[in-house]
Structure 1
């Protein structure tokens, strides 16, 4: 089912912009230069996932890591490795996987931001601010991550127990994870958000995130409470 992304269009940008939709995948892409063939590339990555699910049904349903098989597509193996590091099922990394693998197919774009259901692959020639959407929290759209150009490419992925249809066992309004690997960022965001049901859980969840290999920084929001750890700079945004 198509779900309108009501948070799109909030962040101003002078980059070119396009939307690509293929079944459940709904990508918002901002880019410089020219970009061609991304619709076919997205379809190809989705075919990879469908074939893996037919071969290995647990790939779709498991909530815990599963072992690699012989002759897997590199993206599938990458998803499984990220899942092991975060202690979740491989599909917890799927949005980050699609965003990063599409991004890597277009090195010609100096600036490329691929957003896939709140999960970002970011390559930028300039410093940018990434707005944090946290549902009904009073902090939603009022804070942003400041991202330095020299730190990109990055994966910046968000999980929530109150926004969207993705499975979460927690009640966090937003958990944002930053990593140079978008698949790790995605899987770690899911795992960390699962741990937060009240503001008292924030510190322990951030400590958990800090121990996941490849995680550079984390932000957690529940209600009016926020916590952050690592290489992240949170800045206010004027309403």
Structure 2
């Protein structure tokens, strides 16, 4: 049987920069992204601490979320807000630490509902995927010699999966540690994103191996919430839990272009 064509598309809407690979083109995807961003911005306007907090938050009903005279039911906090809040509480970080992974997760679910059998959503290195054939996700770890040399082989039976990376040396995300990369594998990208931030924050110490060890000790607290994690600091690396099979790759890997199909 002839393999289905995989379509690739890059979508940039505001701060959201996506690479979408799928066996199905979904024209409504951009509108869905706009809707998610609008829901999140609307909630933040009424609850500004959701944007700024470095501590976990429990979302609450806003004043406008009362009985609607037009619809006759109680409006709920948007799903994107609930998922971000839950992820932050699981990882002991603020909810915005999970924003990219949560968007990735929701978009993947949207595509699957539309009938996609192969879908990878890469939101600036925070990936959500459900696939029907093997793929390799490249390891990007800044200036470390491991960057671009290794990849993770993902099999269909392992998905859906969230794969999220946090770094204290690469990218614009806030990190209080100095990890070149902390890559977390979890059932959901929202959880993986928040955990990657939390674990990367603890990559401290003058020696690279000490920073790796501190990160992994912190990761022990969250073993039940994830499948596994790989931490890279300079030329030192360590893992915890079950990570996908590591394979060698000669692919040049850059942030936001993390996988080969």
Give the superposed CA RMSD. 1.3
Q: How does 1:59-138 map to 2 (within 5 A)?
A: 59-70=50-61, 71-107=76-112, 108-138=115-145
Q: Does 1:208 align with 2:218?
A: yes
Q: 2:181 & 2:250 partners in 1: Cα distance?
A: 19
Partner of 2:171, secondary structure, is coil
Shift of 1:88: 0.3
Deviations 1:107-145 (A, max 9, x none): 111000000111000111012110011111111111111
Answer yes or no: is the 8 Å Cα contact 2:164–2:189 preserved in 1: yes
Partner of 1:106, secondary structure, is helix
Unaligned 5+ runs, structure 1: 1-13
Q: 1:95 & 1:22 partners in 2: Cα distance?
A: 13
**TM-score normalised per structure 2:** 0.83
Answer yes or no: is the 8 Å Cα contact 1:210–1:217 preserved in 2: no
Q: Does 1:162 align with 2:169?
A: yes
Answer yes or no: is the 8 Å Cα contact 2:40–2:78 preserved in 1: no
In the alignment, which residue of structure 2 is the partner of 1:5? Answer: none
Of residues 16, 21, 27, the one that matches 1:36 is: 27
Q: 1:36 & 1:121 partners in 2: Cα distance?
A: 19
**TM-score normalised per structure 1:** 0.91
Q: 1:33 & 1:110 partners in 2: Cα distance?
A: 8
Partner of 2:51, secondary structure, is helix
Runs in 1 of length 4+ with deviation above 3 angstroms?
none
Answer yes or no: is the 8 Å Cα contact 1:181–1:214 preserved in 2: no
Of residues 233, 242, 245, the one that matches 1:222 is: 233
Answer yes or no: is the 8 Å Cα contact 2:211–2:233 preserved in 1: no
Answer yes or no: is the 8 Å Cα contact 1:159–1:174 preserved in 2: yes
Q: Does 1:238 align with 2:232?
A: no
Q: 2:47 & 2:28 partners in 1: Cα distance?
A: 29
Answer yes or no: is the 8 Å Cα contact 1:33–1:109 preserved in 2: yes
Shift of 1:68: 1.6
Answer yes or no: is the 8 Å Cα contact 1:137–1:224 preserved in 2: yes
Deviations 1:142-188 (A, max 9, x none): 11112121010100000000000100001100000000111110000
Answer yes or no: is the 8 Å Cα contact 2:179–2:211 preserved in 1: no
Partner of 1:79, secondary structure, is helix
